[in-house]
Amino acid sequence: MIPISILCQQIFDGHNGISAAIFAKENLLANVLSAIPQGSSREEWLQALPRALVAGFVKTDIEFQQKGETSGTTVTFVVIDGWTVTVASVGDSRCILDSQGGEVSLLTVDHRLDDNAEERERVTASGGEVGRLNVFGGNEVGPLRCWPGGLCLSRSIGDTDVGEFIVPIPHVKQVKLSSAGGRLIIASDGIWDALSSDMAAKSCRGLPAELAAKLVVKEALRSRGLKDDTTCLVVDIIPSDHPVLPPTTPRKKQNVLTSLLFGKKTQNSVNKAKLSAVGVVEELFEEGSAMLAERLGKDFPLDTNSGIFRCAICQVDQPPADGLSVNSGPFFSPASKPWEGPFLCTTCRKKKDAMEGKGPSRPTVIS
Protein backbone atom coordinates (compact mmCIF):
# COMPACT_ATOMS: atom_id res chain seq x y z
CA MET A 1 0.00 0.00 0.00
CA ILE A 2 1.16 3.51 -0.78
CA PRO A 3 1.08 5.87 2.18
CA ILE A 4 -1.75 8.37 1.96
CA SER A 5 0.34 11.48 2.39
CA ILE A 6 1.68 11.33 -1.14
CA LEU A 7 0.95 14.02 -3.63
CA CYS A 8 1.23 13.44 -7.35
CA GLN A 9 1.19 16.25 -9.91
CA GLN A 10 1.39 15.78 -13.66
CA ILE A 11 1.62 18.08 -16.65
CA PHE A 12 0.95 16.84 -20.18
CA ASP A 13 1.61 18.97 -23.24
CA GLY A 14 0.14 17.27 -26.28
CA HIS A 15 1.02 17.72 -29.95
CA ASN A 16 -0.63 16.60 -33.20
CA GLY A 17 -3.87 16.10 -31.31
CA ILE A 18 -4.82 15.59 -27.69
CA SER A 19 -5.49 11.87 -27.48
CA ALA A 20 -2.01 10.90 -26.24
CA ALA A 21 -2.16 13.53 -23.51
CA ILE A 22 -5.59 12.33 -22.40
CA PHE A 23 -4.56 8.69 -22.54
CA ALA A 24 -1.44 9.34 -20.46
CA LYS A 25 -3.40 11.36 -17.94
CA GLU A 26 -5.85 8.51 -17.50
CA ASN A 27 -3.39 5.62 -17.38
CA LEU A 28 0.12 6.66 -16.44
CA LEU A 29 -0.29 6.88 -12.67
CA ALA A 30 -1.89 3.45 -12.44
CA ASN A 31 0.80 1.97 -14.67
CA VAL A 32 3.55 3.41 -12.48
CA LEU A 33 1.94 2.19 -9.27
CA SER A 34 1.43 -1.30 -10.68
CA ALA A 35 5.21 -1.56 -11.10
CA ILE A 36 5.86 -0.91 -7.39
CA PRO A 37 6.48 -4.27 -5.67
CA GLN A 38 3.60 -5.35 -3.45
CA GLY A 39 4.05 -4.77 0.25
CA SER A 40 6.78 -2.15 -0.10
CA SER A 41 7.60 -0.14 2.99
CA ARG A 42 7.77 3.64 2.84
CA GLU A 43 11.54 3.50 2.32
CA GLU A 44 11.30 0.72 -0.22
CA TRP A 45 8.63 2.42 -2.28
CA LEU A 46 10.73 5.53 -2.73
CA GLN A 47 13.66 3.40 -3.81
CA ALA A 48 11.49 1.41 -6.20
CA LEU A 49 9.90 4.52 -7.67
CA PRO A 50 12.55 5.47 -10.29
CA ARG A 51 12.36 2.03 -11.88
CA ALA A 52 8.57 1.91 -11.62
CA LEU A 53 8.39 5.26 -13.40
CA VAL A 54 10.42 3.87 -16.31
CA ALA A 55 8.17 0.81 -16.51
CA GLY A 56 4.99 2.89 -16.23
CA PHE A 57 6.02 5.34 -18.95
CA VAL A 58 6.99 2.56 -21.37
CA LYS A 59 3.85 0.56 -20.64
CA THR A 60 1.65 3.61 -21.24
CA ASP A 61 3.42 4.26 -24.54
CA ILE A 62 2.95 0.66 -25.71
CA GLU A 63 -0.74 0.75 -24.79
CA PHE A 64 -1.27 4.02 -26.60
CA GLN A 65 0.52 2.72 -29.70
CA GLN A 66 -1.84 -0.24 -29.74
CA LYS A 67 -4.75 2.18 -30.22
CA GLY A 68 -3.29 3.19 -33.57
CA GLU A 69 -3.62 6.93 -33.00
CA THR A 70 -0.94 9.38 -33.96
CA SER A 71 -0.66 12.16 -31.39
CA GLY A 72 2.05 12.55 -28.78
CA THR A 73 2.60 14.24 -25.45
CA THR A 74 5.30 15.45 -23.12
CA VAL A 75 4.97 14.34 -19.52
CA THR A 76 6.27 15.87 -16.32
CA PHE A 77 5.32 13.58 -13.47
CA VAL A 78 6.05 14.74 -9.93
CA VAL A 79 5.66 12.64 -6.80
CA ILE A 80 6.00 14.32 -3.42
CA ASP A 81 6.35 12.09 -0.39
CA GLY A 82 7.19 14.11 2.69
CA TRP A 83 10.45 15.88 1.93
CA THR A 84 11.31 13.62 -0.99
CA VAL A 85 10.48 14.84 -4.48
CA THR A 86 10.72 12.51 -7.47
CA VAL A 87 10.34 13.92 -10.98
CA ALA A 88 10.10 11.87 -14.17
CA SER A 89 9.92 13.65 -17.50
CA VAL A 90 9.89 13.21 -21.25
CA GLY A 91 9.82 16.17 -23.61
CA ASP A 92 10.47 19.83 -22.90
CA SER A 93 8.22 20.81 -20.02
CA ARG A 94 10.25 21.57 -16.91
CA CYS A 95 10.09 21.29 -13.17
CA ILE A 96 12.24 23.64 -11.10
CA LEU A 97 12.85 23.69 -7.37
CA ASP A 98 13.12 26.95 -5.48
CA SER A 99 14.60 25.85 -2.17
CA GLN A 100 14.25 27.92 0.96
CA GLY A 101 17.85 28.97 0.58
CA GLY A 102 16.88 30.87 -2.52
CA GLU A 103 18.73 28.44 -4.75
CA VAL A 104 16.88 27.49 -7.91
CA SER A 105 17.61 24.14 -9.53
CA LEU A 106 16.25 22.25 -12.49
CA LEU A 107 14.83 18.79 -11.76
CA THR A 108 14.19 17.85 -15.39
CA VAL A 109 16.24 17.60 -18.58
CA ASP A 110 14.98 19.05 -21.86
CA HIS A 111 14.48 16.39 -24.51
CA ARG A 112 14.60 18.94 -27.27
CA LEU A 113 16.86 18.14 -30.21
CA ASP A 114 18.10 21.72 -30.44
CA ASP A 115 19.40 21.72 -26.87
CA ASN A 116 20.50 18.18 -26.27
CA ALA A 117 23.52 16.83 -28.18
CA GLU A 118 23.43 13.49 -26.39
CA GLU A 119 19.88 12.92 -27.57
CA ARG A 120 20.77 13.88 -31.14
CA GLU A 121 23.44 11.20 -31.09
CA ARG A 122 21.09 8.63 -29.65
CA VAL A 123 18.38 9.33 -32.23
CA THR A 124 20.87 9.09 -35.09
CA ALA A 125 22.37 5.87 -33.71
CA SER A 126 18.87 4.37 -33.42
CA GLY A 127 18.04 4.99 -37.06
CA GLY A 128 16.53 8.49 -37.11
CA GLU A 129 17.84 11.51 -38.95
CA VAL A 130 18.24 14.92 -37.36
CA GLY A 131 17.97 18.09 -39.40
CA ARG A 132 16.05 21.27 -40.03
CA LEU A 133 13.15 21.79 -42.36
CA ASN A 134 14.23 22.48 -45.95
CA VAL A 135 12.42 25.22 -47.81
CA PHE A 136 12.93 26.93 -51.15
CA GLY A 137 16.46 26.88 -52.46
CA GLY A 138 17.65 24.45 -49.81
CA ASN A 139 17.44 26.97 -46.98
CA GLU A 140 17.10 25.34 -43.61
CA VAL A 141 14.60 26.85 -41.22
CA GLY A 142 13.23 26.31 -37.74
CA PRO A 143 14.42 24.07 -34.94
CA LEU A 144 16.21 20.76 -35.34
CA ARG A 145 13.78 17.94 -35.97
CA CYS A 146 14.05 14.22 -36.32
CA TRP A 147 12.97 12.42 -39.46
CA PRO A 148 10.79 10.69 -40.35
CA GLY A 149 8.12 12.62 -38.49
CA GLY A 150 9.63 16.06 -38.06
CA LEU A 151 9.30 16.19 -34.27
CA CYS A 152 11.48 18.66 -32.33
CA LEU A 153 11.47 16.42 -29.27
CA SER A 154 13.50 13.26 -28.78
CA ARG A 155 11.30 11.70 -26.11
CA SER A 156 7.55 11.60 -25.63
CA ILE A 157 4.64 9.29 -25.01
CA GLY A 158 2.76 8.43 -28.20
CA ASP A 159 4.00 9.65 -31.59
CA THR A 160 3.36 6.27 -33.11
CA ASP A 161 3.91 7.63 -36.62
CA VAL A 162 7.26 9.25 -35.92
CA GLY A 163 9.60 6.37 -35.25
CA GLU A 164 10.64 4.25 -32.31
CA PHE A 165 13.74 6.36 -31.71
CA ILE A 166 11.39 8.84 -30.03
CA VAL A 167 11.35 6.96 -26.75
CA PRO A 168 9.08 7.22 -23.69
CA ILE A 169 11.90 6.49 -21.23
CA PRO A 170 11.90 9.34 -18.71
CA HIS A 171 14.72 11.25 -17.11
CA VAL A 172 14.20 10.66 -13.38
CA LYS A 173 15.53 12.75 -10.55
CA GLN A 174 14.88 12.29 -6.86
CA VAL A 175 15.86 14.85 -4.25
CA LYS A 176 15.26 15.32 -0.56
CA LEU A 177 14.52 18.81 0.67
CA SER A 178 15.68 20.08 4.01
CA SER A 179 13.00 20.65 6.63
CA ALA A 180 12.86 24.24 5.46
CA GLY A 181 10.84 23.00 2.50
CA GLY A 182 10.69 24.51 -0.95
CA ARG A 183 8.58 25.39 -3.95
CA LEU A 184 8.14 23.49 -7.19
CA ILE A 185 7.25 25.26 -10.41
CA ILE A 186 6.13 22.88 -13.14
CA ALA A 187 5.37 24.39 -16.53
CA SER A 188 5.20 23.63 -20.23
CA ASP A 189 7.70 24.91 -22.78
CA GLY A 190 5.85 28.14 -23.60
CA ILE A 191 6.79 29.46 -20.16
CA TRP A 192 10.44 28.40 -20.40
CA ASP A 193 10.87 29.91 -23.84
CA ALA A 194 10.14 33.24 -22.17
CA LEU A 195 11.57 32.86 -18.66
CA SER A 196 14.71 31.41 -17.10
CA SER A 197 14.34 29.27 -14.00
CA ASP A 198 15.56 32.15 -11.84
CA MET A 199 13.16 34.61 -13.41
CA ALA A 200 10.21 32.30 -12.88
CA ALA A 201 11.15 31.64 -9.25
CA LYS A 202 11.74 35.28 -8.43
CA SER A 203 8.59 36.47 -10.12
CA CYS A 204 6.35 34.75 -7.59
CA ARG A 205 8.25 34.41 -4.31
CA GLY A 206 6.17 35.05 -1.24
CA LEU A 207 2.85 34.49 -2.95
CA PRO A 208 0.48 31.62 -2.32
CA ALA A 209 0.93 28.77 -4.79
CA GLU A 210 -2.21 29.33 -6.83
CA LEU A 211 -1.55 33.02 -7.29
CA ALA A 212 2.11 32.29 -7.98
CA ALA A 213 1.23 30.07 -10.94
CA LYS A 214 -0.89 32.82 -12.47
CA LEU A 215 1.89 35.33 -11.95
CA VAL A 216 4.49 33.14 -13.68
CA VAL A 217 2.22 32.91 -16.73
CA LYS A 218 1.66 36.66 -16.64
CA GLU A 219 5.39 37.33 -16.37
CA ALA A 220 6.10 35.06 -19.34
CA LEU A 221 3.45 36.85 -21.34
CA ARG A 222 4.86 40.23 -20.41
CA SER A 223 8.46 39.43 -21.30
CA ARG A 224 8.04 37.49 -24.52
CA GLY A 225 4.45 37.16 -25.52
CA LEU A 226 3.25 33.60 -25.37
CA LYS A 227 2.88 31.68 -28.56
CA ASP A 228 2.63 28.18 -27.24
CA ASP A 229 1.05 26.37 -24.34
CA THR A 230 1.18 28.02 -20.99
CA THR A 231 0.38 25.42 -18.37
CA CYS A 232 1.94 26.24 -15.02
CA LEU A 233 1.58 24.54 -11.67
CA VAL A 234 3.11 25.68 -8.38
CA VAL A 235 3.40 23.36 -5.39
CA ASP A 236 4.72 24.43 -2.01
CA ILE A 237 6.16 21.78 0.27
CA ILE A 238 5.80 22.81 3.88
CA PRO A 239 4.64 19.94 6.08
CA SER A 240 2.48 21.24 8.89
CA ASP A 241 4.19 19.29 11.62
CA HIS A 242 7.24 21.48 11.20
CA PRO A 243 7.48 25.16 11.97
CA VAL A 244 6.63 27.04 8.82
CA LEU A 245 9.22 29.68 9.47
CA PRO A 246 12.65 29.43 11.04
CA PRO A 247 12.49 30.73 14.62
CA THR A 248 14.53 33.81 13.85
CA THR A 249 12.09 35.03 11.23
CA PRO A 250 9.94 37.99 12.11
CA ARG A 251 6.35 36.90 11.62
CA LYS A 252 4.24 38.79 9.20
CA LYS A 253 0.53 39.24 9.32
CA GLN A 254 -0.12 37.00 6.35
CA ASN A 255 -2.30 33.95 6.49
CA VAL A 256 -0.41 30.79 7.01
CA LEU A 257 -2.33 28.37 4.90
CA THR A 258 -1.46 24.85 5.66
CA SER A 259 -3.34 21.89 4.41
CA LEU A 260 -2.92 18.54 6.07
CA LEU A 261 0.61 18.27 4.83
CA PHE A 262 1.30 20.85 2.22
CA GLY A 263 0.68 24.50 2.39
CA LYS A 264 1.81 27.89 1.45
CA LYS A 265 5.33 29.06 1.87
CA THR A 266 5.12 32.25 3.82
CA GLN A 267 6.95 35.37 2.88
CA ASN A 268 9.98 35.92 5.01
CA SER A 269 13.00 38.11 5.14
CA VAL A 270 15.56 35.93 6.83
CA ASN A 271 18.99 36.63 5.48
CA LYS A 272 20.20 34.18 2.88
CA ALA A 273 23.36 33.10 4.65
CA LYS A 274 21.27 31.55 7.36
CA LEU A 275 18.82 29.99 4.98
CA SER A 276 21.37 28.36 2.74
CA ALA A 277 22.50 26.18 5.62
CA VAL A 278 18.90 25.16 6.20
CA GLY A 279 17.92 24.87 2.56
CA VAL A 280 20.40 22.22 1.45
CA VAL A 281 18.87 19.82 -1.04
CA GLU A 282 20.14 16.26 -1.00
CA GLU A 283 20.31 14.46 -4.34
CA LEU A 284 19.15 10.88 -3.97
CA PHE A 285 18.93 9.66 -7.55
CA GLU A 286 19.36 10.84 -11.12
CA GLU A 287 19.35 8.80 -14.31
CA GLY A 288 18.43 9.68 -17.86
CA SER A 289 19.73 6.85 -20.02
CA ALA A 290 17.48 5.65 -22.83
CA MET A 291 18.78 2.07 -22.48
CA LEU A 292 16.26 -0.10 -20.67
CA ALA A 293 18.94 -2.51 -19.45
CA GLU A 294 20.48 0.35 -17.50
CA ARG A 295 17.17 1.63 -16.20
CA LEU A 296 15.50 -1.58 -15.10
CA GLY A 297 18.58 -3.11 -13.49
CA LYS A 298 19.51 -6.73 -13.12
CA ASP A 299 18.24 -7.44 -9.65
CA PHE A 300 14.57 -7.65 -10.49
CA PRO A 301 12.87 -10.12 -8.17
CA LEU A 302 11.73 -13.23 -10.02
CA ASP A 303 8.87 -15.18 -8.61
CA THR A 304 10.68 -18.46 -8.84
CA ASN A 305 8.33 -20.32 -6.52
CA SER A 306 5.38 -20.16 -8.85
CA GLY A 307 7.43 -20.69 -11.99
CA ILE A 308 5.75 -17.62 -13.43
CA PHE A 309 7.64 -14.73 -14.97
CA ARG A 310 6.35 -11.23 -14.55
CA CYS A 311 7.24 -8.70 -17.25
CA ALA A 312 9.22 -5.87 -15.69
CA ILE A 313 7.43 -3.33 -17.87
CA CYS A 314 3.79 -4.33 -18.29
CA GLN A 315 3.62 -6.55 -15.16
CA VAL A 316 1.85 -9.30 -17.07
CA ASP A 317 2.54 -12.80 -15.77
CA GLN A 318 3.72 -15.36 -18.22
CA PRO A 319 4.50 -19.04 -17.76
CA PRO A 320 8.12 -19.62 -18.84
CA ALA A 321 7.05 -21.87 -21.68
CA ASP A 322 5.14 -19.06 -23.38
CA GLY A 323 7.73 -16.40 -22.92
CA LEU A 324 11.39 -15.88 -23.26
CA SER A 325 13.71 -16.82 -20.51
CA VAL A 326 15.70 -14.10 -18.85
CA ASN A 327 18.83 -14.55 -20.92
CA SER A 328 17.51 -15.53 -24.32
CA GLY A 329 18.84 -12.32 -25.81
CA PRO A 330 20.04 -13.41 -29.26
CA PHE A 331 16.54 -14.43 -30.32
CA PHE A 332 15.48 -11.00 -31.59
CA SER A 333 18.76 -9.38 -32.42
CA PRO A 334 21.36 -11.92 -33.48
CA ALA A 335 24.31 -9.53 -33.46
CA SER A 336 23.68 -8.04 -30.06
CA LYS A 337 25.04 -8.93 -26.69
CA PRO A 338 22.57 -10.88 -24.56
CA TRP A 339 19.89 -8.90 -22.76
CA GLU A 340 21.06 -8.37 -19.23
CA GLY A 341 17.93 -6.85 -17.78
CA PRO A 342 14.94 -8.46 -16.11
CA PHE A 343 12.34 -10.64 -17.78
CA LEU A 344 10.33 -8.91 -20.50
CA CYS A 345 7.30 -10.32 -22.29
CA THR A 346 7.41 -10.65 -26.07
CA THR A 347 5.60 -7.34 -26.66
CA CYS A 348 7.79 -5.33 -24.32
CA ARG A 349 10.92 -6.96 -25.64
CA LYS A 350 10.01 -6.02 -29.19
CA LYS A 351 9.43 -2.49 -28.00
CA LYS A 352 12.85 -2.43 -26.37
CA ASP A 353 14.59 -3.65 -29.52
CA ALA A 354 12.67 -1.17 -31.68
CA MET A 355 13.62 1.75 -29.43
CA GLU A 356 17.26 0.78 -29.70
CA GLY A 357 17.01 0.67 -33.49
CA LYS A 358 17.53 -3.07 -33.70
CA GLY A 359 15.85 -4.15 -36.87
CA PRO A 360 16.75 -7.37 -38.67
CA SER A 361 19.16 -5.67 -41.08
CA ARG A 362 20.39 -2.91 -38.83
CA PRO A 363 23.75 -3.13 -37.11
CA THR A 364 23.70 -3.40 -33.35
CA VAL A 365 23.99 -0.20 -31.45
CA ILE A 366 26.11 -0.37 -28.37
CA SER A 367 26.27 2.85 -26.46
**What's the closest the beta carbon of residue 334 comes to Zn ion, in angstroms?**
22
Pick the closer one to Zn ion by CB: 20 or 313: 313
Site for Zn ion in 32-91 (CB under 5 A): none
Q: What is the DSSP string of 212-280?
A: HHHHHHHHHHHHH---S---EEEEEE--TTS-SS-TTSPPPSS---B-SS-BPPPP----HHHHHHHT-
Stretch that binds Zn ion, among 110-118, 223-231, 312-320, 325-333 (CB under 5 A): 312-320
Site for Zn ion in 106-125 (CB under 5 A): none
Alpha-helical runs (H) found in 132-175: none
Which residues make beta-bridge pairs with 317?
Answer: 310
Which residues make beta-bridge pairs with 107?
Answer: none
CB atoms closer than 10 angstroms to residue 155: 32
Alpha-helical runs (H) found in the chain: 19-34, 42-66, 117-125, 189-194, 197-203, 209-224, 272-278, 292-296, 346-355
Tell me which of 20, 32, 177, 348 binds Zn ion, using CB under 5 A.
348
**What's the closest the beta carbon of residue 171 comes to Zn ion, in angstroms?**
22
Query: From CA 172, how far away is CA 75, in angstroms rounded?
Result: 12
Amino acid identity, position 33: L
Tell me which of 235, 290, 313, 355 binds Zn ion, using CB under 5 A.
313
Stretch that binds Zn ion, among 36-44, 110-118, 314-322, 355-363 (CB under 5 A): 314-322
The count of chain residues that interact with Zn ion, using the rule CB under 5 A, is: 5
Pick the closer one to Zn ion by CB: 313 or 355: 313
Tell me which of 53, 96, 345, 355 binds Zn ion, using CB under 5 A.
345
Pick the closer one to Zn ion by CB: 182 or 341: 341
Stretch that binds Zn ion, among 74-82, 211-219, 306-314, 325-333 (CB under 5 A): 306-314
**What's the closest the beta carbon of residue 101 comes to Zn ion, in angstroms?**
43
Secondary structure percentages of the chain, helix, strand, coil, to 5: 30, 25, 45
Pick the closer one to Zn ion by CB: 102 or 297: 297
Query: From CA 32, how far away is CA 153, in angstroms rounded?
Result: 23
Which residues make beta-bridge pairs with 87?
Answer: 78, 173
**What's the closest the beta carbon of residue 300 comes to Zn ion, in angstroms?**
12
Pick the closer one to Zn ion by CB: 175 or 348: 348
Site for Zn ion in 260-279 (CB under 5 A): none
Stretch that binds Zn ion, among 125-133, 142-150, 282-290, 337-345 (CB under 5 A): 337-345
Stretch that binds Zn ion, among 4-12, 163-171, 244-252, 309-317 (CB under 5 A): 309-317
Tell me which of 24, 201, 275, 311 binds Zn ion, using CB under 5 A.
311
Decide if residue 314 touches Zn ion (CB under 5 A).
Answer: yes
Amino acid identity, position 81: D
Decide if residue 296 touches Zn ion (CB under 5 A).
Answer: no
**DSSP 8-state assignment for residue 167:** B
CB atoms closer than 10 angstroms to residue 262: 19
Query: From CA 235, how far away is CA 218, in angstroms rounded?
Result: 18
Residues engaged in binding Zn ion (CB under 5 A): 311, 313-314, 345, 348
